[in-house]
Amino acid sequence: VDRHEITVPVLLGDRKITSDWNIYAFPTYYILDYEQRVIHRDLGYSTLAGLWWRTI
C-alpha cells in the first residue's frame, strides 16, 4: 500500500465484526464500492501476483 501510494480506509475488527461479516480466516479483505456494497472478498495471505490472478 505504501509503495504504491494507495490510500484506503481500513477497518480493524473485534469479535462482533468477525461475526457480523462472517470472517473465518485471517487476514480477510473486502473491497467496497462507493455505496459501501461488497464487490470483492479475499481470504488469507498472497503474493502480489496471486492477488492479481484472483481478480481476473
Cα–Cα distances in angstroms (integers) from residue 3 to residues 6, 8, 12, 43, in the given order: 8, 13, 21, 22
Which set of grid coordinates corresponds to residue 45? 495471505
- pTM equals 0.52
Give the span between the Cα atoms of 14 and 40, in whole angstroms: 21
Residue 51's pLDDT band (boundaries 50, 70, 90)?
Answer: low
Which pLDDT band holds residue 11 (cuts at 50, 70, 90)?
confident
Sign of CA dihedral 43, 47, 49, 52: positive
Q: What pLDDT sits at residue 3?
A: 75
Q: Model confidence at 46, in pLDDT bands (50, 70, 90)?
A: low
**Residue 29, CB half-sphere, CA atoms under 13 Å: how many?**
11
What is the structure's pLDDT at 54? 67
